[in-house]
Amino acid sequence: MPTAPAPVVVSSFEIPGVISRICRLQYDAGGLSEVLVAQARDPVLHVSNSMAAEDFYCKRLGFRREFAHRVDDAKADPCYMGLTRDGVWLHVSSFSGDGFRVAAVNLIVEDVDTLHEELVEKGVRIDTGLSTKPGYQRNVCKDADGNSIRFIEQ
């Protein structure tokens, strides 16, 4: 019997309300299921290099850094940053133990086609291409640490 993959932690949130749902996907006898772990205001993604993360999220995905906290301002890491775009907050942290490693964040957007064009123009590699189903479109890209950023139009 094949072994099931390890559980995957997924963080998602929707606008309005910007409430984060942190779930664990797990395989059991019934197949794949989602188990709610917690709800939080803003997702925190773990990154290994804060400068690379800031470059990706700000210069390529269009977020703006609102704050950065470093223990030692002379060193890039560890760092905890708050990033915003269109009223949505993402927190990224290179502090040991902060955030979820290799997480997925679902961002509900109004026009995924326009956003797709913007990201492609900025050289962002889109992992799934533009996926379209009736009433649902999505775009998925990953940061350097493997965190998936999913832009979804419903």
Per-residue model confidence as pLDDT tens digits over 24-35: 555 566 665 555
**Whole-model pTM?**
0.71
Instruction: Tell me what pLDDT residue 36 has.
Output: 52
Tokens for 70, please give them. 């470093």
- Looking up tokens 């925190």 gives 44
Pairing of strands 126-133, 136-142: antiparallel
Query: Does position 77 have pLDDT exceeding 60, yes or no?
Result: yes
pLDDT score at 17? 35
Q: Is 136 left (phi over 0), alpha (psi -120 to 50) or beta?
A: beta
Which pLDDT value is given to residue 1? 45
- pLDDT bucket at 101, cuts 50 / 70 / 90: confident
Q: Which CATH class is domain 43-153?
A: alpha beta
Residue 57 near residue 120, CB atoms below 8 Å: no
Beta bridge partners of 24: 9, 35
Bridge partners (DSSP) of residue 27 are 32
